[in-house]
Structures are given as C-alpha cells and as structure tokens.
Amino acid sequence: MRRKISLKPITLLLLLLTFVSYGKEDKQHSESGSDLRTEIKEYVQHHLLDSYDFNLFSYENGEKHFGFSLPVILWDNGLKVFSSSKFHHGETIAEVGGDYYKLYHNKVYKTDANGTINYDAEHHPTNAKPLDFSITKNVVLIMIVFAIMFFMFSRMAKSYKKNNGMPKGMGRFLEPIVLYVRDEIAIPNIGEKHYKRYMSYLLTVFFFVWIVNLFGLTPIGMNVTNNIAVTLCLALITYFITTFSGNKNYWKHIFWMPGVPVPMKIILAPIELLGTIIKPFALMIRLYANITAGHVVLMSIIGMMFIFNNWLGSSLSFLLAFVLGILELLVAALQAYIFTVLSALYFGMAVEEHDHH
C-alpha cells in the first residue's frame, strides 16, 4: 500500500516563510542581512544589561538619544560623583578631578586622556577599576518598586483601620493575594505553628519579584531579575533565614541522620551539607535563567520582523511576539510564585519537628 505523506501546517508555514523571506537575500547579497542580524543581536544584548542612563530610543542613525542620565558614584582615592552624560553612551572619556574614566563593556575603567584600554593575553582589560557605587537603572527600579510596595501596603493597612477590619480600595485588590500566599504557600509548607514569622519575607519577595518582572516587559528595559547579582542576593536572604532558623532536628538530619548506619552517616553528612548550598543556588539560577531566556526569545522574535522584511513574515513574527508577550505576563507571576514556594519549603524543612520513638 502507498503511504499518505502529509505535512503539518506549521511545517508548511515555515517552508513558506523561508522561501518568501530569503528569496530576496539570494538576489541582493546576504551582507546586509548579516549586518542586520548582528545589529539585532547587539541590541538584544544591550537591552539585557544594566546601564548608567535611561536610553528610551535613538534616532538619526543612533546619533541622538532620548532619555536621561543617572549619577555615577566612584571611589578612586576619594569620592568622585558626576553625571553619566559625560560618557555620552560610552563614546567619550569622562574627566573628573584630573582623572580619566572610560565606559567599556558597561563597566567603568580608569584610563588616560586618549581612552587607552590595555589587555592581557586573554584579551581581558587590565586597567584599574574604581569602586563603583553608581545609581544604575536597576537601582532606580528597585527604589521605584520599594515606593510602590510601601504605597500599596500602607494604603491597605489604612483601609483596614478605617473600616473595622474590612478591606477597601487597594485592600480589596491585595487581600486575595495575601490570603493566597498565606493559605496556599506559607501554611502548607511551614505549618500553622511557625508560618507567621516568615509571612513578611514571603509577601515581600513575592510582590517584589512579580512587580520587577512586569517592569522587565516594558520598553524601558529595566530587567532587575535578569541581573544575577540581584537573584543571588534574594537567594542568600533565603539561605540565611533557613540557616539561622533551623532547629536541632534540622541540623541533626544534616550531620547525623537518624536511623542510618554509622558509615552511611559519615558519607551522607557532607552531601547533606552541600545540599543546603545547592538549594539557594538553584533558586538563584532558576529565576535568572527563566527571565533572561524569556527576554532573549521575545526580543529575537521581534527582530525577525525586520529580518523577514515582508508582509507575511513580519506579520506572523508580530503575532508570535504578541502571544509570547502575553505568556511572559504569566511567567512573571509564575516565577514569583515558584521562588516564594521554594523559600517557604526550605523554611518548613528548617523548623519541622520530628518525633523519634
């Protein structure tokens, strides 16, 4: 019998996009296409990085920028404070008090009047780096999120006080979320006896991660959880709370696990101790990797609109980017939920009480 050969609709669509979009490249050289791909790749990488200014958009071939500068605060034989506009988006050298500084690969290096950067054998800069306490985009967003959360929860507290324990206004929006964190995350994982002392941290980390993830989807390009230093700090806080609140049963199960032969206890002890470090490390990587991957995929698909350069490919790329943008809204809340759940789970393991007969 002859087999029926059928192509799935998505396969046909991909083939059609390939012929329609790349037919022009075969006729016009692929140099312009490769330059465009390089430009899109550099833009995506730049979008994911922290920066010393807000550059919302540029025009006239990137010669003019629309945005505003942020303060650069350095410690180099004394305090040096100046505006990031002196760097002019990394194109010029900043002269401050007789010293020269250059913005190179999004880091500030000390240099000379010519902006010389020296390299080692592996092509890494060897110029001195001053201590950097600058207020960058990510720092500004953290301050903004702090102000938003303070405003929301202060309004919620006032609404309870004015209405005899009944929520009103902002409280009506926040109360179901707070109750969900308490009833579905804190109590099941920590237990009714100990959950209250962890609620403030769990609520803070849930709303913080959720709000900064939502800001990361805006065109201003403020990606706090895309910065591994931020996710490291969040994971370290969870680690320290777990470590310092662990009871004797928690540490006993790590260093001298009950009900296990003595030789196995000696073998398991370093493994269990290493596990206490691996858990927060997994928290850090999970949040960082998921947010970074989502931004890279979304912006790459938006860049495909310019690479296809035709009505069919660009339209479908826009549609796919729109669908993924909606999905990223779900991921923003999902990552906040996962981080909070795992933190609550680690706290519950630390305070769990075991009965040995």
Show the DSSP H helices in the chain as ranges.
9-28, 31-48, 137-162, 170-180, 187-190, 196-215, 228-245, 248-255, 262-308, 311-351
3-state SS class at 63: coil
pLDDT at 198 over 70: yes
Single-letter code of the amino acid located at 200: S
Tokens of 126: 């060897």
pLDDT in tens, 42-88: 666 666 677 888 776 665 555 566 677 889 999 988 899 988 888 88
Nearest to 144 by CA among 218, 46, 235, 199: 218
Question: How far lies 305's CA from each of 14, 21, 50, 217, in Å?
Answer: 14, 10, 25, 18
**Predicted local confidence at residue 196, as pLDDT:** 92
CA dist list (Å): 163 to 59, 151, 159, 169, 351 = 52, 18, 6, 11, 36
> Crossing angle of helices 196-215/137-162, nearest 10°?
130
Question: Exposed, middle or buried, 137 (CB in 10 Å: 0-12/13-18/19+)?
Answer: buried
Residue 45's pLDDT is 64
Q: Is the pLDDT of residue 5 over 50?
A: no
Q: Dump pLDDT digits (tens) for 115-140.
A: 888 888 888 888 888 998 988 888 98
CA neighbor of 211 nearest in space, from 157, 143, 156: 143
337-346 average pLDDT score: 95
Strand-pair partners of 55: 67
